[in-house]
Amino acid sequence: METTETTFDSLVRAEFTPAGIYLNTASNSLLPARSVAALHRAALLRAEGRPLTSLYDDVEASRAAYARLAGVPVARVAAGASVAAHSGLIAASLPAGAEVLTAEDDFTSVLNPFHVRGDLKVRTVPLERIAESVRPGTALVAVSAAQSADGRLADLPALREAARAHGARTYVDFSQSAGWLPMDADRYDFTAAVSFKWLLGPHGAAFLTVPEDLGGLTPVLAGWVAAEEPWNSCYGPVTELARSARRFDVSPALFTFAGLRPSLELIEELGVEAVHAHDAGLADRFRSGLASLGHEPVPAPGSAIVSVPGLGGRQEELSRAGIEVSDRAGNLRASFHLFNTAADVDRLLDALAG
């Protein structure tokens, strides 16, 4: 009888054929074979002049799959192009003078739209202090669940309780954790995630979840796809916006969603819990190996991202050796996902030791 572990391994082997050792999902993931095939089929539709109707079906199937992963009804999921655009939508909804609490050195797409408003009070604190820094008058807390630079995880339960106590809303970017870390978007007012990291999709898509009452957001980017009846809303002003979060959609990058749909299906087949155990286990193996080499990573227990101070300068050397990692502010950043193995970790450790 085939075990769950065997099924996991066989699925992964069937989908991924890296040319070397790829430990850089925090930048962008590898594409599964099924997604590459779907992208090829989508391109042929354009090349041969055939109808693109099925590609719009891919958008809705991707939205539904993401909703299941996020743990919210599909009516609360908007499909867009970037986290920055979603952040800008939320920023535009805030009254002048509202206080937005953010974490130091969080990813720019989460932060910058609040700064460029010019009339908001953006307050920045260390990630470890973000929950205790919520105060009366804080309108919104915006933070990444996992920090892009070093993998540190926000204490989201503590943040949620602090925000509730002070009447603040919450906005969480799951871009660096959706796909390997179980998420419950229902616990937060707004969440976002891009498609091309741990969700294994192409570039060009990002999801936004909103409250059931749509969160008081104004659909300032609304075009025809944001209408309740899109195909009857192509000309003139939209007479009726979608009654769901789809009113916040922007015109979809159809090829992206064609490739993303099978990627999300693969994540669901494997199960986020299994992916989490795999990814976190490899990260822990790397941390243990680093300790034996006398290196101390940035503390980020439980994260699939490991950042090692002082070793970022070795990124080019490692790349020449067929090992892909990142150099982030002088730190070597290795990130682990389902297509990685213990042998990959050991190869990186051997290279660092040598």
- CA 197/CA 133 separation, integer angstroms: 30
268 residue type, one letter = E
The confidence score (pLDDT) of residue 3 equals 56
Same fold, 4-31+271-353 and 45-269: no
> Where along the chain do its domains lie?
4-31+271-353, 45-269
pTM of the model: 0.96
- Judged against a pLDDT cut of 80, whether residue 60 lies above it is answered with yes
The confidence score (pLDDT) of residue 114 equals 98
Model confidence at 145, pLDDT cuts 50, 70, 90, reads very high
Tell me the percentage of the chain whose pLDDT exceeds 70.
Answer: 99
- Judged against a pLDDT cut of 50, whether residue 184 lies above it is answered with yes
> Which whole number is the average pLDDT over 247-262?
98
- Judged against a pLDDT cut of 50, whether residue 81 lies above it is answered with yes
- Judged against a pLDDT cut of 60, whether residue 9 lies above it is answered with yes
Other CB atoms within a 10 A radius of the CB of residue 83 amount to 23
Fold annotation for 4-31+271-353: Aspartate Aminotransferase, domain 1 (3.90.1150)
pLDDT digits (tens, 9 = 90+) for 280-306: 999 999 999 999 999 999 999 999 999
The confidence score (pLDDT) of residue 329 equals 84
The confidence score (pLDDT) of residue 1 equals 40
Fold annotation for 45-269: Aspartate Aminotransferase; domain 2 (3.40.640)
> Which whole number is the average pLDDT over 171-196?
97
Q: What are phi and psi of 144, to 5 degrees?
A: -85, 140
The confidence score (pLDDT) of residue 148 equals 97
